[in-house]
Structure 1
């Protein structure tokens, strides 16, 4: 699971790098306040999608194995569905984070980070925030994993 979280930090950081590329081009061409699309190759999305997909694979497999191994025998089938619930809750949490970011970055008549005109916005800041939260998640995971007491196996003969 820790490997999955670490890969997700790398994946979100790759998203930031890909987002910064068109923003640099926008500034070079002085298109900030114009509704002009600045394109880059779609192939730039391959590394970030690979990393984020790999992180989900590591997380899902690790969570299922951990929950199956550490849950009570009567709870195993229920516990193996929890990784899917965690992914769904993660999507809802992302929507909440997006709403909070929009609210706080538009205070005081500021434009905010996320705008209809991506040339004016700072979507890269939002992705840096997600990368930072993912890194914080990794730190919490490390502390929790170090302090976790494994369930003792009960041998019945």
Structure 2
């Protein structure tokens, strides 16, 4: 169990990104034009459903197309190792936060062009500008979250599988706590020393959420570098078993 702790540590910052999709991403949507035609408006919170839809589409594609294709070259029944799968998801999260940063910069640009600075004022920009970051999060979850479940279960010793599975939920719990802590810390620090009252205010039209997203992208990138070091030195249980068989034969 101890050897999985470094891997567990690398999942905390990515869990922060997942927490943001249900908080700040949704709050962004409340400031945008949610119209779908003349008579219907999409509830901002329903944007989260695109994560689920994206995941439902990408999971079969991964299992039915990607795994058989890559298995020919890797001779791995899973196509790629679980840590490689997790790493691909981490890279996608970096891309997601860059996209979210650019989308927020566009939103702020349109708001300022139209003189919109007040809380609750709608920016004349479609809510679907946020769709790429939600859809890509579903694809990233296909890699990260599924790999986390399988990894912590498979690599736990026999008789401690449930303990291994608890690492998965621990990742989410710590990620949500760190999300709140980081948001409050950044908000307080930038209010005291930042530009125009802070990066993250209750009024997003007067905030600099794009700076915060850029910070998160940087944190995920640094976490990915740490993950590469951890993955390089991690030895799978299956590898140990195969080595024993080879020695005995």
TM category, shorter? 0.7 to 0.9
Pair 1:73-2:158 in alignment = yes
Instruction: Classify 1:79/1:24 alpha carbon distance in 2 versus 1 (closer, same or farther; 3 Å).
Output: same
Aligned-partner Cα distance in 1 for 2:171–2:223: 14
Deviation at 1:123, TM superposition (A): 0.8
Pair 1:47-2:120 in alignment = no
2:160 match: secondary structure: helix
Deviation at 1:94, TM superposition (A): 0.6
Q: In structure 2, what is the equivalent of residue 123 of structure 1?
A: 209
Over residues 6-38 of structure 1, what are the superposed CA-to-partner deviations in whole Å (9 max), with x where a residue is unaligned? 111111112112111111112323444x45421
Check whether the contact 1:114–1:121 (CA below 8 A) recurs between aligned residues. yes
Aligned-partner Cα distance in 1 for 2:149–2:200: 35
> How do 1:37-116 residues align onto structure 2 when only pairs under 5 Å count?
37-108=122-193, 111-116=197-202
Over residues 117-149 of structure 1, what are the superposed CA-to-partner deviations in whole Å (9 max), with x where a residue is unaligned? 322210111111111111111111111101223
Q: In structure 2, what is the equivalent of residue 2 of structure 1?
A: 87
Deviation at 1:108, TM superposition (A): 4.8
Unaligned runs of 5+ in 2: 1-85
Q: How many residues align?
A: 154
Aligned-partner Cα distance in 2 for 1:117–1:10: 26
Aligned-partner Cα distance in 1 for 2:104–2:193: 26
Aligned-partner Cα distance in 1 for 2:127–2:193: 36
Aligned partner (choices 103, 110, 135) of residue 221 of structure 2: 135
1:111 match: secondary structure: coil
2:125 match: secondary structure: coil
Check whether the contact 2:153–2:161 (CA below 8 A) recurs between aligned residues. yes
Check whether the contact 1:12–1:52 (CA below 8 A) recurs between aligned residues. no
Post-superposition, which runs of at least 4 consecutive aligned residues in structure 1 deviate over 4 A? none
Aligned-partner Cα distance in 2 for 1:136–1:58: 19
Deviation at 1:69, TM superposition (A): 2.4
Task: Please report the TM-score for the alignment, with normalisation by the length of structure 2.
Answer: 0.57
Q: In structure 2, what is the equivalent of residue 144 of structure 1?
A: 230
Aligned-partner Cα distance in 1 for 2:201–2:93: 25
Deviation at 1:113, TM superposition (A): 0.8
Task: Please report the TM-score for the alignment, with normalisation by the length of structure 1.
Answer: 0.86
